[in-house]
Copies of this chain bind each other. A is one copy, B any other.
Amino acid sequence: MTTAIDCFARYGYQGTSIDRIASAAGVTKGALYYHFRDKEELLFEAVKDRIAEFEERVVGSVSPVTDPPAALAEIARVCVHIATKNNLRRFILTLMVEALDTNPRLSQAFRDILRRFRSYLAGIVRLGQEQGVFRSDVEASRAAQLFAGGVIGAELQHYQDPERVDLGVVMQGVVDQLVSWLTVDADQLPHGVHAKRGARNNRRESR
């Protein structure tokens, strides 16, 4: 199964033959077909498996959320860690793109995954808005789309050109620019409310 995920992540669904998975895993085709009805079930099982793991790690790393900007930074760090340690994120990215017009069911699965991810991010942003550390005139869902898009774009560029694109650096930038944009200036806050973290920090430097 790990082998299958590896192959799918590298060569895509169509580019991965059952033979390749089998021989890479040191078993025969027949053995695979004993455990999975067909290639698609193998894929879906792999997706289900890994997505659950990914979501647990993201949520687990920052729960409970008390400091929204820190939570976003932590999520970015987890994404970097996952993306560089194993190929889970790449697995998702590769298959998501491939599925777009070729596999409606799989595409729907990825759509749901991304929606959950954005929804989770939006919750964090909304919390920040309630706390007064984030401005309220930006829709939380839009901020979530920006963050998710930044993550995806960073990963894709990194996979594409690892020697030029340092994933950690870019991902930090994704957080920085979003937080910078969202953070209200202290002197603009209504009386009695204070940003808990020095917003200046984010504006000034990067990594």
- A residues bordering B, Cβ < 8 Å? 10-12, 14-15, 69-70, 73, 93-94, 96-98, 100-102, 107, 110-111, 114-115, 135, 137-138, 142-143, 145-146, 148-154, 156-157, 159-161, 164-165, 169-170, 173-185, 195, 197-207
Q: Are A205 and B205 in contact (CB under 8 A)?
A: no
Q: Are B102 and A11 in contact (CB under 8 A)?
A: yes
Q: Are A170 and B195 in contact (CB under 8 A)?
A: no
The complex places the Cα of A185 from the Cα of B202 at a distance, in Å, of 12
Given A10-B101, A205-B202, do A178 and B176 touch, yes or no (CB 8 Å)? no
The complex places the Cα of A110 from the Cα of B97 at a distance, in Å, of 16
The complex places the Cα of A183 from the Cα of B149 at a distance, in Å, of 22
Of the candidates B69, B100, B145, B169, the one whose C-beta lies within 8 Å of that of A142 is B169
Q: Are B161 and A115 in contact (CB under 8 A)?
A: yes
Give the residue name and chain of the B residue nearest to A101 (CB): B10
Extra pairs beyond A114-B161, A183-B206, A199-B205 (4, CB < 8 Å): A114-B157, A135-B204, A142-B170, A150-B153
